[in-house]
Amino acid sequence: MPLQEKLTSGEFVILAEMEPPKGTDVSSMVASATGVKRMVDAFVVPEMNNAVMRLSSLGGALLLQTKGLETVMQVCCRDRNRLALQGDLLAAQALGIPNVMAVAGDEITHGDHHQAKAVNDLNLLELLAAIQTLKTGRDLAGVDLKGAPQFLVGATVKVTGDAGALKQELADLDKKIAAGARFFTTQPVFDVEVLEKFRRQVGKRPAAIIPTVMLLKSVGMARYINTHMEMKIPEAFVTRIQKSSDRVRECVQIAAEFVAAVKKQGFPGVLVSTIGWEDKLPSILAAAGL
């Protein structure tokens, strides 16, 4: 069932992140995605996550679409101006990519090409508005299009436990909804209570909030995230991995528990980020009872 239809039906949606390779050898990406094809409703193909140069989201999404897999292409404000963004969006529709997600993009200084010039010609809300404009059959210059895209449009939302930040995030969420976004993925979340509180605050807004569950791959990875990134992993998870006799299995179990919690809380779906360990996706979903 197409993603748009499934979200409308109320069935629990499973998205999987599928990062394109840094290079032209796409065999691993394609094999990883096709291996879990039956379990996943759509593959989210990031546009150079963390500003690390990789094969583009448009290219990656098209590759998977040609294998019969539904994808969500990301369009990113950081690297393209309004001409390139619109051109890629038209290309995506013409090539059969049905879903797009607008993202602002991580700072260039965080990536591996830190000397590059950032574009940011349109901001996130302007990009969402641009997509809506294209859907009406015109471009940003007001010129008629020969054939208009009909994407399901998404964006990102940040889950936060901080009252002030939450208020701002919800205000931003309303603006994104008004600009046409209908589904939202979150940053990887590791705190079920914060997530539940966030869900209650979002309430009945007309938007499908899809939390991201990230598969931790080691204690070192958890420590790195806790040291360098804004999101924090509760120490209890780190200890569980540390004390386990089968650490990989424990990592899978933790992710599965989180996926199950997301479903139980009543979210319409989950985005599973396995960062190279796509072969663990079946175990995660099975352990989560999906």
Partner 1 sequence: MIKAVPKPLEEVLDLVKDFTKVLIVGCDGCVTVCEAGGSKEAKVLASALRLYFTQAGKQAQIDETSLTRQCEKEYLAQLSDKMDAYDAVVSLACGCGVQYMAEMYNNKIIYPGVDTCFLGVNEERGLYAERCQACGRCILAETGGVCPIARCSKRMLNGPCGGSDQGKCEISKDVPCGWELIYERLKTLGQLDRFEKPVDPKDWTTSRDGGPRTIVREDLRI
What residues line the site for partner 1 (CB under 8 A)? 107-109, 114-118
Q: How far is the CB of 80 from partner 1 (least distance, A)?
A: 15
The DSSP bridge partners found for residue 15 are 42, 271
- Name 14's bridge partners: 270
Q: How far apart are CA 282 and CA 284, in angstroms?
A: 5
Smallest separation, CB 118 to partner 1 (Å): 5
Shortest gap between Cβ of 271 and partner 1 (angstroms)?
29
User: Shortest Cβ distance from residue 115 to partner 1 (Å)?
Assistant: 4
Q: Position 184: which residue type?
A: F
Q: Which is nearer to partner 1, 18 or 51 (CB)?
A: 51
- Helix H segments across the chain? 3-9, 27-35, 57-66, 82-94, 124-135, 163-178, 192-202, 219-228, 235-243, 247-264, 281-287
Q: Which is nearer to partner 1, 111 or 234 (CB)?
A: 111
For partner 1, give the closer residue by CB, 144 or 230: 230
Minimum CB distance to partner 1 smaller for 116 or for 145: 116
- By beta-carbon proximity to partner 1, the closer residue of 116 and 177 is 116
CA 287 to chain centre: 22
The burial class, CB within 10 Å (0-12 / 13-18 / 19+), for 68 is exposed
| Distance, C-alpha 71 to centroid of its chain | 11
| Coil/strand/helix, residue 46 | coil
Q: For tokens 């958890």, name the residue.
A: 222
Nearer to partner 1, 67 or 114 (CB): 114
Q: Minimum Å distance from CB 48 to partner 1?
A: 16
Partners of 166 in beta bridges: none
CB of 108 vs partner 1, minimal distance in Å: 7
